[in-house]
């Protein structure tokens, strides 16, 4: 569903992403881990076509993001880091607007909005202004917009960042459930997310993959501790990407 081959991004002399290759299949939730500045968000932005690549290839459902970006993007639901919201809109109104931007209309749009609200447990705030929502509900509203067109692929950048422990638990459960039918790539620097939501994970440092495996395989590489593996393979100070 997601095929990344030799992905590279340079900003002038700086190499932010260095020859990355990985894949995510249907029914797989791939955690993309690394310290701050490791190149996670830059990679996400290239995978979704938000940033042009310096070198390499990205294919979404066998469609090249470089050669045919419009068609590839139709297959993706994207939750960017610090996703924008319109505070004066209601949750329902915002989702209707996003569905229209996705080309949905009439009964199809209504059904898509209802389903995304139910999936993200937003029924209690559906008619509430976004500006009055807690951070947890705002985050779930952003996630709901990524699901409106029932995409085959989800790309989620730091989906639990800034949430309290209860909210993190809810979002992790939701990601794990969605991952049964979709291919999901999500970035995080929270190691607990690997065992809580991932079927597989890669660790990146300074723009390169330094570890790859299932949660149990990664723990084994760290002599039983994912924390030990993370400290062993990543830098303490990583330049901002």
Q: How many CB atoms lie within 10 A of CB 96?
A: 18
List, for residues 139-193, the tens digit of each pLDDT value. Answer: 889 999 999 999 999 999 888 877 888 888 888 888 999 999 999 999 988 888 8
| Domains located in the chain, CATH noted | 1-75+151-241 (3.40.50.300), 77-147 (no CATH)
SS3 of residue 200 by DSSP? strand
The structure's pTM equals 0.90
Other C-beta atoms lying within 10 Å of the C-beta of residue 11: 12
What string of pLDDT tens digits covers the 241 residues of the chain?
A: 999 999 999 999 999 999 999 999 999 999 999 988 899 999 999 999 999 999 999 999 999 999 999 999 999 999 987 778 999 999 999 999 999 999 999 999 999 999 999 999 899 999 999 999 988 889 889 999 999 999 999 999 888 877 888 888 888 888 999 999 999 999 988 888 888 899 999 999 999 999 999 999 999 998 888 999 999 999 765 454 4
106 by Cβ neighbours in 10 Å (0-12 / 13-18 / 19+) ranks as exposed
Q: Collapsing DSSP states into helix, strand and coil, what is residue 125?
A: helix
Pairing of strands 63-64, 55-60: antiparallel
Cα–Cα separations (whole angstroms), residue 117 to 31, 130, 162, 230 = 25, 14, 21, 36
- Indicate the DSSP class of residue 39: S
């Amino acid at each position: 569903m997601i095929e990344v081959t030799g992905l590279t991004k340079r900003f002038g002399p700086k190499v932010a992403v260095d020859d990355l290759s990985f894949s995510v299949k249907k029914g797989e939730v791939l955690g993309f881990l690394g310290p701050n500045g490791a190149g996670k968000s830059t990679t996400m932005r290239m995978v979704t076509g938000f940033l042009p690549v310096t070198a390499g290839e990205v294919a979404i459902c066998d469609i090249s993001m470089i050669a045919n970006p419009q068609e590839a993007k139709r297959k993706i639901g994207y939750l960017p880091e610090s996703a924008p919201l319109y505070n004066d809109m209601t949750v329902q109104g915002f989702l209707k607007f996003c569905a229209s931007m996705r080309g949905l209309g009439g009964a199809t749009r209504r059904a898509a909005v209802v389903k995304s609200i139910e999936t993200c447990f937003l029924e209690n705030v559906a008619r509430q202004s976004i500006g009055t929502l807690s951070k947890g509900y705002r985050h779930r509203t952003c996630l709901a917009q990524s699901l409106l067109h029932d995409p085959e692929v989800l790309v989620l950048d730091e989906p639990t960042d800034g949430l309290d422990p209860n909210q993190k638990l809810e979002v992790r459960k939701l990601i794990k459930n969605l991952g049964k039918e979709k291919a999901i790539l999500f970035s995080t620097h929270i190691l607990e997310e690997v065992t809580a939501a991932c079927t597989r994970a890669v660790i990146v440092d300074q723009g390169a993959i330094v570890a790859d495996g299932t949660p149990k395989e990664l723990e084994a590489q760290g002599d039983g501790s994912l924390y030990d593996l993370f400290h062993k393979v990543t830098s303490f100070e990583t330049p901002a990407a």
